[in-house]
Structure 1
């Protein structure tokens, strides 16, 4: 955490760079380095607030603000009309959570402990919901890729909005399921000897301040995407599906790995799968609705994104079947992620 605090120095540096119009590639790197500690601060603030609000509201805040950085970055990309970057970052977040985060957690946790166990019933339920969510994303794409686009040009915006409404309703119902009707399934032992380090006012102030700064940094980042991609020969597709998800979710990724090293694989797996679930059921519909304020964005993903998403989710369901993990499973997940990353790099 100390390293992340030192990284806050990049926040004022990026403001200087924006004022002096520094080279886009340098600005992209500096802004990425500034967003990572701000995202960590946001996560720490929501954790502190949970001490005062109770575990239910705290859990909801952690889940919501855990993906807030990704949502803010995507909003500015949406505003700039970078729809392919937005959709690639959505797909990349899901793929990264399942393959990179879960793989790194299983590898590092498995090196320290021969085998680790997690609540099979909870993870299996989340993995099944994730499979449903991906099916919801693939159906519009199948229609678009198989039918004449001219037949759908006037109706397709409505289809995207309807799918978004259904997804966000499912998200709300999943909260009711986990926090109320079946909360016993999700009960976790919170009997740690822990207490808040911050006052409630400080926690809220840090949360608001970090959110505002991430918003400003996200605008700097998005404005540098196109010129940076052209300058170093990277496709916006690769930037969206690999780089932006890693930047936006870096703090959350590190939390999952730390939990695995503490032999709390339940938490690590739920962070990876639960975050992916929220990206599809909450972040994606919200972005669809926000796009209506500018230029409506379709919910259609290309064939490469769909294949990577489907295989990632199938792997997540496979991992959830036995309630146990080891370092070799982590190696396999990371290997698949590297293959996908290389494929998108050369695409």
Structure 2
């Protein structure tokens, strides 16, 4: 007697489980294993800071510790998102999408390291718009004559990014063009920065409403726009299965809380060691804040974006643009408003060189992606531009740009 063939329902269940297992196994064996190994640096980093070890060790250990901690925060957010609605999960990702920049910015603000706050945030934008975008295009298009991607949503996001970037540079140009005898400049810059921060913070919620409500169909029409909800995950939920059966929302919430606490501790010791490290090693604080901390702190996130680019270049580009928007619309306003509340002279008046490279990076990124076509050579050019900027920051001495009130 021949065995009855399995039903289509059973086949789909087996296929869903197999797809989920293969995807998660691949992630664990290819990247997560090495990132998780860096968790050993967390107790070393905290001990180095608490026991006042040499600045080089404090900086190195805590910088390495931030990598797995940031990756754990991202994983916990994704796990929590599976137990939340579309809008709630979207808000959660938007608010905590760049935890390294947010926590380091707040910690540096509390320690009165205002130039470090500005440097880390601008450096992260440079990484997103030049280094990682270039690496993604190079990796995805090295074997293609032309690399094409959808430009409908990309152009909307890049246009918004350009307008917001212009708003951020207005206080700097106001300071640059002011008369040297203007005795009220510091006060005026604070007022302009505070008003700009409030407006940008309000625009962040408008952007969320646009992205998650009124124009959600633009993003939902493209599956790669939300990679956390892959086809296998949707099928698994349809069948009553959990796409992450080993972790529920309680464990994810606990992991998020513990990882955030570790990030706060490591960031506190990391920022506290910058002055001594710059003095003992002869390295400018601007180079540490603009290049080293953003590039290394988000290493796991950047590797994931670049690794996904050959199959999901649309998602990689949108993820990078979304990261820039989160920094400009959320994190910059938050640190300025917190400085206002803490009576700290935190303004949007940046060093002119940093402002120039920031604005150029945004313009170049917009130019590269505006037509929906690129090639690996343009990716190499973006990476080369970032390297040139990094070398210039390395050889350039620090320009203290804190406005005293």
Determine if the TM-score, normalized by the shorter chain, exceeds 0.5: yes
Shift of residue 317, structure 1, vs aligned partner: 1.2
SS in 1 for 2:370: coil
Superposed CA deviations along residues 11-70 of structure 1, whole A, max 9, x for unmatched, are: 111222223321111110110000100000000111111111134332332232221221
Q: 1:222 aligned to 271, 282, 287, which one?
A: 271
If you compute each CA radius of gyration, which structure gives the higher value, 1 or 2?
A: 2
Structure 1 length as normaliser, TM-score? Answer: 0.95
Residue 4 of structure 2 corresponds to which residue in structure 1?
A: none
Residue 244 of structure 2 corresponds to which residue in structure 1?
A: 196
Residue 171 of structure 1 corresponds to which residue in structure 2?
A: 204
Aligned partners of 2:306 and 2:316 also within 8 Å: yes
Q: For residues 201 and 352 of structure 2, what CA distance do their matches in structure 1 show?
A: 24
Give ranges in structure 1 of 5+ residues lacking alignment.
Answer: none
Aligned length: 346
Aligned partners of 2:76 and 2:256 also within 8 Å: yes
Q: 1:156 aligned to 149, 172, 189, which one?
A: 189
Residue 306 of structure 1 corresponds to which residue in structure 2?
A: 355
Residue 44 of structure 2 corresponds to which residue in structure 1?
A: 13
SS in 2 for 1:52: coil
Pick closer, same or farther for the CA change 1:202–1:115 going to 2, 3 Å. farther
Aligned partners of 1:70 and 1:249 also within 8 Å: no
Shift of residue 85, structure 1, vs aligned partner: 1.3
Q: For residues 118 and 54 of structure 1, what CA distance do their matches in structure 2 show?
A: 28
Of 336-345 and 48-57, more deviation after overlay is shown by 48-57
Q: For residues 342 and 317 of structure 1, what CA distance do their matches in structure 2 show?
A: 23
The reply to whether residue 142 of structure 1 matches residue 173 of structure 2 is yes
Pick closer, same or farther for the CA change 1:191–1:209 going to 2, 3 Å. closer
Q: After the TM superposition, which residues 220-299 of structure 1 pair with which residues of structure 2 at under 5 Å, given as runs?
A: 220-261=269-310, 263-292=311-340, 293-299=342-348
Q: For residues 315 and 337 of structure 1, what CA distance do their matches in structure 2 show?
A: 11
Superposed CA deviations along residues 198-252 of structure 1, whole A, max 9, x for unmatched, are: 1111111111110111001110101111001111111111111111212332232
Aligned partners of 2:153 and 2:219 also within 8 Å: yes
Aligned partners of 2:90 and 2:212 also within 8 Å: no
Structure 2 length as normaliser, TM-score? Answer: 0.82
Residue 76 of structure 1 corresponds to which residue in structure 2?
A: 107
Q: 1:184 aligned to 207, 217, 237, which one?
A: 217
Residue 6 of structure 2 corresponds to which residue in structure 1?
A: none
Shift of residue 120, structure 1, vs aligned partner: 0.1
Q: For residues 100 and 57 of structure 1, what CA distance do their matches in structure 2 show?
A: 31
Aligned partners of 2:153 and 2:218 also within 8 Å: yes
Aligned partners of 2:197 and 2:332 also within 8 Å: yes
Aligned partners of 1:72 and 1:215 also within 8 Å: yes
Q: For residues 57 and 39 of structure 1, what CA distance do their matches in structure 2 show?
A: 21
Q: After the TM superposition, which residues 41-120 of structure 1 pair with which residues of structure 2 at under 5 Å, given as runs?
A: 41-111=72-142, 115-120=146-151
Q: For residues 295 and 139 of structure 1, what CA distance do their matches in structure 2 show?
A: 20
Relative contact order (alpha carbons < 8 A, sep ≥ 6): 1 or 2 greater?
1
Q: For residues 134 and 167 of structure 1, what CA distance do their matches in structure 2 show?
A: 10
Of 120-129 and 252-261, more deviation after overlay is shown by 252-261
Of 245-254 and 29-38, more deviation after overlay is shown by 245-254
Of 222-231 and 184-193, more deviation after overlay is shown by 184-193
Measured on the aligned residues, the alpha-carbon RMSD in Å equals 1.5
